[in-house]
Amino acid sequence: MASFRVCVLTLFPDMFPGPLGYSLAGKALEAGIWSLKTVNIRHYARNQHVDNAPFGGGPGMVMRADVIDAALRENRESWLPFVYMTPRGQALTQEDAWALARIGGVCILCGRFEGVDQRVLDKHGANELSIGDYILSGGELAALVLLDSIIRLIPGVIKSMESLQEESFSRGLLEYHQYTRPRVWSDRAVPGVLVSGHHKRVKEWRRIQSEVITRERRPDLWHRYAVAMADGQGGIVEQQ
């Protein structure tokens, strides 16, 4: 059995795996490290519409509770967490990605139109997640973003677990600047410490860079980090 099981309910199943069929995620899908089941919500509409006008009036259409309920009941394995992508949800974080990766699977509902009848979300205990404060035309791209953030954390997808520990958010900080060859490019030299061969000094330089960049760019993250450090915790995002 795959280490991570994905079930996606959508009106556009052909959008999956989409970008997740490429590169590391694509190879891992082929290798069976994660599995993907797409469910076309339209198949559960029988002779009805998938959507209807909202009660109370207003623009647009709302996806029907009975149609989505039928799709969920037939396809969701009961242990899978149920996630609805919506701009009204909690903002997706790296912690969420780690938590879902550890659980071992997810069932995602992609909305369209004005969204989904609230009753089916309540009945199935939906976890509502947003990928940012803007409106997309459908939940499919949001689901792909969520899945990408999870899949790269599954053991065996990325060879070096070290790279997961170093990257932005892993210790509650943004990542330091990165450089590669050539040493001097367009009259700009790589910071000397990085080519000094002193591993301890490189580590220290990177830590300071991370702190400076986080303080400048993301005062919100910096504040959380500073509080966690004062409490004696080394980092914020728990791993493994």
Q: Would you tell me which residues interact with ligand SAH (CB under 6 A)?
A: 85-88, 110-112, 114-115, 130-132, 134-136, 138-139, 142
Q: Is 120 helix (H, G, I), strand (E, B) or coil?
A: helix
Angle, helices 199-217 vs 219-230, to 10°: value is 120
The backbone torsions φ and ψ at residue 175, rounded to the nearest 5 degrees and listed phi first, read: -75, 150
Smallest gap from residue 210 Cβ to ligand SAH (A): 28
Identify which of residues 129 and 173 has a Cβ nearer to ligand SAH in the complex. 129
Query: How far is residue 228's CA from residue 234's CA, in Å, rounded to a whole number?
Result: 7
Q: How far is the CB of 125 from ligand SAH (least distance, A)?
A: 17
Nearer Cβ to ligand SAH, position 149 or 210?
149
Q: How far is the CB of 227 from ligand SAH (least distance, A)?
A: 28
Residue among 51 and 225 whose Cβ is closer to ligand SAH: 51
Closest distance between ligand SAH and the C-beta of residue 38, in Å? Answer: 15
The Cα-based distances of 2 to 60, 94, 165, 185 in angstroms read 39, 22, 24, 45
Q: Which is nearer to ligand SAH, 11 or 236 (CB)?
A: 11
d(CA 86, CA 83): 9
136/158 with CB nearer ligand SAH: 136
Q: What is the phi/psi pair of residue 209, to 5°?
A: -55, -45
Nearest residue to ligand SAH, using CB?
Answer: 111
